A = this chain, B = another copy of it.
Amino acid sequence: MDLKHYKMPTCMVCPVKYESVFGEVDQTRLEDINVSKRVIPFKKKQTIFQANSVPNGLHIVHMGKVKLTKVNSLGIEQIIGFATKGDIFGYDSMLANQDYHITATAIDDCIICFIPKEKIIEMIRADGNFALKLFEHGFNEFTEIANNYSNMVQKPLRQKVALSLLFIMDSFGLNQEDVLDARLSREEIANIALSTTASTIRTLSEFNSEGLIELIGKQIKILDLPRLRQEADKY
C-alpha cells in the first residue's frame, strides 16, 4: 500500500462512509465535514492517541488496521478491540467528557480521518437520526466489549486462546490459504486472551499438534474451524 501516491477522496464521494455511521449524512453536511476534518497518516506501530490524554475529536479508519488497548493497574496490556476500514473509535470518551481510557495504535500503515468534537456535537444536536445511529453504534460496541471480558474471565486457557483466534478471524478474516490475515505477535495474541505470552504459545502449540491449527512461522493457519469453535464453547 503506497500511501504517498494514494489520492484521498473528499467526504462527499468517499466510499468508506457507507461502512460507517456517516452513511446517511446529507451532502450539505458532508461538505461541512470535509472542510473541518483532518486526514492523518500513521505509520505502523505509531500511537494514534494515548490513554489519559484529552479527546477532542472522533477518529475514523479510512485505510489500515488499528488496535485498541487498555493497560490495567498492573501495567498489563489488554487488547479490547480492533478498528478497520469505516470503523470509528475513541468517541465514547469524548462524549463522556473524560480522558481516553484506551490507547489506539496503528497496526499497519494507516490513514485516519479526524472530525473535531464541536462538529460532532453540532451534528448530534441538529440531527436526531445521527444521534440515534451513534447511540446504536456505541452501545453495540459496548455490549461486545463487555461480553468479551465476561467470557474471557474465569475460563480455562485453551478456551480463551480459541476465542482469541476466532476474534482475530472475525476482525481481519482469512486469506486464500486460510491463514489469519493479521501479523500479530504472540504477545498481542496473549493480550487478547488476557493471559501471558509463554502460556499462550504453549496452548497454540497444543492446538498445532492436535491439528486444529497449523503454525507456519508467525502465521496461523486455521485447519479445523468446527473443532476450534467447539473448543471455544466447551463446558
Binding site for B on A (CB under 8 A): 70, 72-74, 76, 78, 80, 92-93, 95-98, 101, 121, 124-126, 128-129, 131-132, 134-136, 138-140, 142-143, 145-147, 149-155, 194, 233, 235
Contact = CB atoms under 8 A, between A and B. Distances in A.
B74 A139 contact: no
A153 B235 CA distance: 21
A131 B127 CA distance: 11
Contacts of A126: 128
A135 to B, nearest CB: 4
B150 A72 contact: yes
A169 to B, nearest CB: 18
A96 B132 CA distance: 9
Contacts of A98: 139-140, 143
Contact of A124 (B76, B132, B150): B132
Given A74-B235, A136-B95, A146-B101, A194 B125 contact: no
Given A80-B146, A125-B132, A146-B101, A96 B233 contact: no
Interface of A is mostly: helix
A118 B142 CA distance: 22
A153 B76 CA distance: 10
Nearest to A134: B135
Q: Which 3 A-B pairs have the closest CB atoms?
A: A125-B128, A96-B139, A149-B149
Given A80-B146, A149-B150, A121 B132 contact: yes
Contacts of A147: 70, 101
Contacts of A153: 72, 78, 149, 152-153, 194
Given A95-B132, A95-B139, A125-B129, 9 more contacts: A72-B151, A76-B154, A92-B139, A96-B135, A128-B131, A142-B142, A149-B150, A149-B153, A153-B153
A150 to B, nearest CB: 5
A70 B154 CA distance: 13
